[in-house]
Amino acid sequence: MHRKMIDRRRRSIVAAALGTPLWIGGVTSAAAPGSNFRVYDGLLHRGKPNLARLGFERIYWVGGLWRPGTPRDYVDEQGVIAALALLPYEARTLYIDIENWPLLGVSDSVRAQHIENFIVTAKIVRRVKPAVKFGFYGIAPLCIYWPIIRQDKEALAEWRAANRALQPLADLVDFVLPSLYTAYDDHADWRKYAIASLDEARQYRKPIYPFLWYEYFDGNPLLRGHVVNATDWRDELDLCRECADGIVLWGGSERGWSESAGWWQSVLSFMGKPAASPTRAPGPT
């Protein structure tokens, strides 16, 4: 995976969703015991062990869908095909990461064109890789934050209209992947944001696997690099078990793996796994 590229894309999508008023303002899955809830591992740490030992299944990132010099306003079919060709033979589950086609704060005609771009991309993926399962990161539903917290009626109406317009895209994918990263330390607000986003995702009638990051979103200069409060982090996991069909764990770029890290111990407990033994590998705690 191109880790720095993934980081930049995630920052862009989430930063756009959260707005700027404050600072300006291989993935895997395992079924939780006794349920169909799935836990996907999108962690990027150096030295991360093979999580197949916990029953995890890889899911692969697909981005960089344009050839050099190709305009990004439209789909580059050959670029999409080339990106898919880079996947290893065993790749059977993918998430597509595109940040170039905004759907909020644009005219109706631009939104329609950008939705068509997503649909065309999905059809290419389905044609080229008919056996894979895939979804789009942070699309259907779109990621917003402050309009939910502030109950901005106009912005929420636009959000819901755009999400409804994405139904044809949702019909083409196997699951939807809302982004539920933690940007602020007000957990009550995060819960409002998460519940509203997951409720909105249900309209597509597809499995919902939100992305969670155990650190605060790095667009917040006051909290970047800090691990989410342990109680809040466990509640994020529990809320997603209640309201979603699974989660995608993400983070760890340019960090070492620590089996004894507190956030990871919470994940193991959440999944009903034995606590891990400490290791010498460096990592956030």
173-189 per-position pLDDT tens digit: 999 999 999 999 999 99
| Tokens encoding 97 | 């990461």
Residue 283 has pLDDT above 90, yes or no: no
| Greater model confidence, 239 or 99 | 239
| In the chain, domain spans | 3-270
Over residues 34-45, mean pLDDT: 81
**Which residues touch 267 (CB under 8 Å, ≥6 apart)?**
39, 237, 249
116-156: per-residue pLDDT in tens? Answer: 999 999 999 999 999 999 999 999 999 999 999 999 999 99
Residue with tokens 């993935």: 27
pLDDT for the residue numbered 15: 52
* Residue 27 structure tokens: 């993935």
Q: What's the pLDDT band for 42 if we cut at 50, 70, 90?
A: confident
Q: Is the whole model's pTM more than 0.75, yes or no?
A: yes
Q: Pick from 165, 195, 182: which is nearest to 101 by CA?
A: 165
Is the domain spanning 3-270 CATH 3.20.20? The answer is: yes
Q: Which amino acid is at 249?
A: L
- Could you tell me what percent of the chain has a pLDDT over 90? 69
The pLDDT confidence band at residue 31, using thresholds 50, 70 and 90, is very low
* Cα separation, 101 vs 58, whole angstroms: 27
Q: Are 137 and 6 in contact (CB under 8 A)?
A: no
